[in-house]
Structure 1
């Protein structure tokens, strides 16, 4: 055996590197079980709030929103993801009703119809818009106009009625030229009246009409069809455009103080609810068992480790981290004394 302490520590380094490589290859399954059990052994006593500072999580979250959210990787995936969603083969294999439960749809409809405060606020705001009043007036006017026109065609078939309608048209035309200002004022009042009537009709429809039944009938028509049938509503190009517009809208908010305040509030809320939970309790609430952790480690780690061993990176990294100790004066002195 060499009496050179430095040579001995070098051999010890080689042996330790080989030992660790064997731990993550030949004895990997045993090591995973051992390490996870070691972590879980302390999971009953470690509280999340004691080891993780919400302020640090907020910093990380802001990095995610600012840098990752606006990265080229995310932006370049918007259209491909939209295409994948649109052309998903599984959409032809599953009916919409199998994907979304009818009971949940009905619950959402009832919840929407029950938002009386939101409805009142919406109608209140709509009445303040002159443009909405004009639209309502056109809507009502179109219905009335179609009704009158339809009945006029029938009436004109009667002897003498055609001439009467002609005289009436001339009177209206003359009145319009003489009192346009007055007619404009009346038109404005008419628009507001039409809006009130439209609002009243919508309120009555929501309150007393069979809206729930009607919406569910439409749902049932689609529920028994493949999800892919929804493509008939939007073309692939329109789907891409919508995805890009949605992404653009999201990006326009990512650096705004409001969004950052919202992220901070979410994190505070999470820690208020789970900060005093132990790691074990949190894992249980997430539905992750010991067997799940072991299975996932066995699924993802071996291919990565094999690749790192094959290209020599793992051994080099281990050696770089351990060598400073084995070449230190303290380690060499210990070997020399032995």
Structure 2
């Protein structure tokens, strides 16, 4: 018998415990869970989102877990284990890229991207204006000119070609030190002076590319790629790369989530949700987000039976039920009722 509880109260407590356990038995559990869910859903039309929670409550909760929460060191070990397991899974060898994305899905994405003409033109102009693009174009022109001159000399096939090459090599060997570097420097300087016109023509060419032709070209590339297995990515990405990217992404996330930018957008998103659904009753809200009664019942029946069976097997169920009820049967209110009510 528990301390400070009368024999009558203890008898009622034990009867109550047995009643709860009876409701949780496999034969009765489904009816019990369905009744509980139906009771909750029956009240859903009576309560709006604003009556249930406030935007501040949601913001504080999201802020705690999305901004303040620091993952323990063990999480990175788990992430590493998961990354290695996923990376090495045999499913990659059995799945083609076309299994992951259909032709229709790719075409829809491609059409949307090509539809964004202003965005595409902005990218081209920024690319051409980038110094790295200018440097790349200069190098391509330089090596192209050198290659053309050399191929023209070697490929002419004339009787004097070999003699000309030999003569040129002899002259270069006798030329002053730095002569070859001087020629190269002058050639590069000439190309640098001419590169603006080349870049302008390059920009015009890229801007004039027909969207339909570009679309057809990209679809041809996809037609070849889609036959490859998903494991194709393993040629470019190792398991260690995946793990390191996870760490890099998390470090980025730790800093990004502290920025005003992230927090303002996060709060704005929550406000937008409440502006739309604040006065909506919970039953309509559940319907709007696609949560149905059958889903709730199915999930309850999926998890509750094995958990209850495990707790019963470990002798945890009865103590837990008793712990929830015992304080009530110890209370002065129950003692007064038992003493005064016939």
Tell me the TM-score normalized by structure 2: 0.82
The partner residue of 1:227 within 224, 227, 230 is 230
Deviation at 1:32, TM superposition (A): 0.6
Matching of residue 300 in structure 1 with residue 271 in structure 2? no
Matching of residue 108 in structure 1 with residue 139 in structure 2? no
Deviation at 1:18, TM superposition (A): 1.7
- In structure 2, relative to structure 1, the CA distance for the partners of 1:59 and 1:319 (3 Å cut) is same
Structure 2 partner of 1:213: 216
Deviation at 1:73, TM superposition (A): 4.8
Q: Which runs of 5+ in 2 are unaligned?
A: none
- In structure 2, relative to structure 1, the CA distance for the partners of 1:264 and 1:156 (3 Å cut) is farther
- CA distance, structure 2, for counterparts of residue 162 and residue 249 of structure 1: 63
> Which has the larger displacement, 274-283 or 48-57?
274-283
- CA distance, structure 2, for counterparts of residue 232 and residue 175 of structure 1: 41
Matching of residue 204 in structure 1 with residue 203 in structure 2? no
Structure 2 partner of 1:48: 49
SS at match of 1:135: helix
Structure 2 partner of 1:271: 274
The partner residue of 2:253 within 246, 250, 254 is 250
> Contact 1:43–1:278 at 8 Å: present in 2 too?
yes
> Contact 1:95–1:226 at 8 Å: present in 2 too?
yes
- In structure 2, relative to structure 1, the CA distance for the partners of 1:81 and 1:265 (3 Å cut) is farther
> Which has the larger displacement, 255-264 or 243-252?
243-252
- CA distance, structure 2, for counterparts of residue 204 and residue 144 of structure 1: 26
CA offsets, 1:194-223, max 9 Å, x none? 333333333333x35722222222222232
Query: For this pair of structures, how many residues does the alignment match?
Result: 332
- CA distance, structure 2, for counterparts of residue 209 and residue 134 of structure 1: 30
> Contact 2:98–2:227 at 8 Å: present in 1 too?
yes
- CA distance, structure 2, for counterparts of residue 5 and residue 155 of structure 1: 113
Deviation at 1:63, TM superposition (A): 1.6
> Contact 1:33–1:294 at 8 Å: present in 2 too?
yes
CA offsets, 1:143-200, max 9 Å, x none? 4443443333213645379649949988xx869859x7x9876554334333333333
Structure 1 partner of 2:336: 333
Matching of residue 193 in structure 1 with residue 173 in structure 2? no
> Contact 1:137–1:192 at 8 Å: present in 2 too?
no
- In structure 2, relative to structure 1, the CA distance for the partners of 1:24 and 1:157 (3 Å cut) is farther
CA offsets, 1:251-306, max 9 Å, x none? 33232222222222222233333333332223223333222211110110112222
- CA distance, structure 1, for counterparts of residue 159 and residue 207 of structure 2: 40
Deviation at 1:133, TM superposition (A): 1.6
Structure 2 partner of 1:58: 59
> Contact 1:79–1:244 at 8 Å: present in 2 too?
no
SS at match of 1:277: coil
Deviation at 1:128, TM superposition (A): 4.6
Structure 1 partner of 2:13: 13
Matching of residue 141 in structure 1 with residue 142 in structure 2? yes
SS at match of 1:287: coil
SS at match of 2:279: coil
Deviation at 1:135, TM superposition (A): 2.0
- CA distance, structure 2, for counterparts of residue 94 and residue 183 of structure 1: 52
Tell me the TM-score normalized by structure 1: 0.83
Deviation at 1:31, TM superposition (A): 0.6
